[in-house]
Amino acid sequence: GESVGLHLPTLSVQEGDNSIINCAYSNSASDYFIWYKQESGKGPQFIIDIRSNMDKRQGQRVTVLLNKTVKHLSLQIAATQPGDSAVYFCAEKKGSYKLSFGAGTTVTVRA
C-alpha cells in the first residue's frame, strides 16, 4: 500500500509500504531542488536532487518527481524501513547557493 499526504506535517507508514512525501515550492525561477533527511539530533543529509529541466529522477529506493506546472515536488520511498523514520525537507535553490527549506514532514514507520 501507499501513504500519501498533501503537504502534511506528519506521515505514519507501515513498514514495507511505500511512502510519498509532498512539497510545494514558491519560486518558479528555482532551477534546482533537493530532498534532505534529518534524523533526531543531526543535521540534514542529502537524499536526492533534481534539476528543473527534469520531471523524474530515481535513486536507491527513492524517486523524486517534479511538476513545474503546479510547482509541486514529491519524494517516494519504496519499501519503507524503520531507519527511514525522520523529518524530510524539500529545499529549492535560488541562485547558485542559497537554499530555501520547506517546513518538513515527520515520517514515522510502524513495525
Partner 1 sequence: NAGVMQNPRHLVRRRGQEARLRCSPMKGHSHVYWYRQLPEEGLKFMVYLQKENIIDESGMPKERFSAEFPKEGPSILRIQQVVRGDSAAYFCASSPPSNYEQYFGPGTRLTVT
Residue 108 near partner 1 by CB under 8 A: no
Site for partner 1 in 31-50 (CB under 8 A): 36, 41-46
Candidate ranges 11-19, 57-65, 72-80, 86-94; the one touching partner 1 (CB under 8 A): 86-94
Rounded Cα distance between 32 and 106, Å, is 23
Residue with cell 518558479: 28
Total residues contacting partner 1 by CB under 8 A comes to: 20
**H or E, element range at 105:** strand 105-110
Q: Which residue is associated with the grid cell 535553490?
A: 93
Closest C-alpha among 85, 6, 38 to residue 47:
38
DSSP state, 111? -
Closest contact distance (angstroms) between CB of 51 and partner 1 is: 13
Judged by CB under 8 A, the stretch of 11-19, 51-59, 65-73, 102-110 that binds partner 1 is 102-110
Please state the closest distance from residue 22 (CB atom) to partner 1, in A. Answer: 15
Report the residue number, 14 or 46, with the smaller CB distance to partner 1: 46
Supply angle C-alpha 29, 50, 45, rounded to 5: 110
Kindly tell me which of 29 and 97 has the beta carbon lying closer to partner 1: 97
Q: Which is nearer to partner 1, 1 or 43 (CB)?
A: 43
> 15 near 108, Cβ under 8 Å?
no
